[in-house]
Chains A and B, each alone.
Chain A
Amino acid sequence: MNAAKLESKPMSPRKEKWNQFTDSMKYAFHVIFHPFDGFWDLIHEKRGTLAAATTWLALFLITRVLELMYTNFQFINAPLQYINVFEQMASLLFPFLIMCLANWSLTTLFDGKGRFKDIYMAMCYALVPYTLIHLPLIFVSNIIAFDEAAFYDVLLTVSTAWCVLLVFIGLMQVHDYGPGKTIIFVIATILGTLIIIFLILVFLSLLSDALSYFVSLYREIAFRLY
Chain B
Amino acid sequence: MKVMYRLMALLMILMLLAGMTSAFAADDGYPSSYTYNYDYWGDVRESPDAYRVDQVIHSSALGLEVAMKRPQSLFVQGQDLYVCDTGNNRILHLTRGGDGFHLVRIIDTIQGAEPATFNTPSDVFVDEEGNIYICDTNNQRVVMVDKDLNFLKAFTKPTDSTFDQSLNFLPNKLVVDTSGRVFCLATNVNKGLVKFESDTTFTGYVGANKVVYNFAEYIWKEFFTTKAQRAQQESFVPTEYCNVYMDEDSFIYATNISFEEGDLIWDKAMPIRRLNGIGNDILIKNDRYPPIGDLYWIEGSVEQGPSKLIDITVLENDIYVAADRTRGRIFGYDSQGIMLWAFGSLGNTNNTFNSIISIEHMGRDLIVLDQTEADITVFTPTEYGNLIYDASADYLRGDYDGSAEKWEEVLRFNANYNLAFIGIGRSLMRQEKFKEAMDYFEMAHDRDNYGRAFRQYRKIWVEENIGWMALVLAVVMIVPLIIRTIKRTRMEVEIYERSKVGK
Contacts and interface: CB of A to CB of B under 8 A. Distances in A.
Nearest to B442: A73
B451 A74 contact: yes
Nearest to B461: A143
Interface in B476-495: none
Say which size band chain A's interface belongs to: under 10
B448 interface: yes
Interface in A124-148: 143, 145-148
B451 A147 contact: yes
A28 to B, nearest CB: 26
Q: Which of B41, B447, B452, B455 has the most CB of A within 10 A?
A: B447
Contact of A73 (B445, B448, B455): B445
Contacts of B454: 145-146
Contact of A145 (B41, B442, B445, B458): B458
Interface in A143-182: 143, 145-148
B138 to A, nearest CB: 53
Q: Which applies to chain A's interface (DSSP): helix, strand, loop or mixed?
A: loop
A32 B454 CA distance: 35
Contact of B447 (A79, A143, A146): A146
Contact of A146 (B41, B450, B458): B450
B448 A146 contact: yes
Say which size band chain B's interface belongs to: 10 to 19
A74 B450 contact: yes
A79 B455 contact: no
Nearest to A79: B41
A135 to B, nearest CB: 21
Contacts of A81: 41
A74 B41 contact: no
B15 to A, nearest CB: 32
B458 A143 contact: yes
Q: Which of A81, A145, A147 has the most CB of B within 10 A?
A: A145
A147 B454 CA distance: 11
Nearest to A149: B451
Contacts of B451: 74, 145-148
Contacts of B41: 79, 81
Q: Which applies to chain B's interface (DSSP): helix, strand, loop or mixed?
A: helix
Contacts of B458: 143, 145
A74 B458 CA distance: 15
A143 B451 CA distance: 10
A224 to B, nearest CB: 35
Nearest to B455: A145
A81 B41 CA distance: 10
A74 B452 CA distance: 11
A147 B447 CA distance: 9
Nearest to B448: A146
A216 B61 CA distance: 64
Contacts of A145: 450-452, 454-455, 458
Interface string B365-408: 00000000000000000000000000000000000000000000
A182 B450 CA distance: 46
A173 to B, nearest CB: 38
Nearest to B453: A145
A143 B452 CA distance: 13
Contacts of A73: 442, 445, 447, 450
B106 to A, nearest CB: 56
Interface in B440-470: 442, 445, 447-448, 450-452, 454-455, 458
A54 B450 CA distance: 39
A72 to B, nearest CB: 9
A81 B445 CA distance: 14
A148 B447 CA distance: 12
A74 to B, nearest CB: 5
A143 B454 CA distance: 9
A143 B448 CA distance: 15
B260 to A, nearest CB: 26
Contacts of A79: 41
B263 to A, nearest CB: 23
Contacts of B455: 145
Contacts of A148: 451
B286 to A, nearest CB: 15
B229 to A, nearest CB: 36
A188 B42 CA distance: 38
A74 B445 CA distance: 8
A148 B450 CA distance: 12
A159 to B, nearest CB: 22
A79 B445 CA distance: 11
Interface in B22-67: 41
Contacts of B450: 73-74, 145-146
A76 to B, nearest CB: 11
Nearest to B458: A143
B121 to A, nearest CB: 51
A73 B442 CA distance: 7
Interface in A56-87: 73-74, 79, 81
A148 B445 CA distance: 17
A79 B447 CA distance: 15
A65 B450 CA distance: 24
A110 B41 CA distance: 48
Nearest to B456: A145
A78 to B, nearest CB: 10
Nearest to B452: A145
Nearest to A75: B447
Nearest to A145: B451
Contacts of A147: 451
A181 to B, nearest CB: 34
A69 to B, nearest CB: 15
Nearest to B42: A79
B449 to A, nearest CB: 9
Interface of A: 73-74, 79, 81, 143, 145-148
Interface of B: 41, 442, 445, 447-448, 450-452, 454-455, 458
The 9 A-B residue pairs whose C-beta atoms are closest, nearest first, are A146-B451, A145-B451, A146-B447, A145-B455, A74-B447, A145-B454, A79-B41, A147-B451, A73-B442
5 contacts: A74-B451, A143-B458, A145-B452, A146-B447, A148-B451
Given A73-B450, A145-B458, 13 more contacts: A74-B447, A74-B450, A74-B451, A79-B41, A143-B458, A145-B450, A145-B451, A145-B454, A146-B450, A146-B451, A146-B454, A147-B451, A148-B451
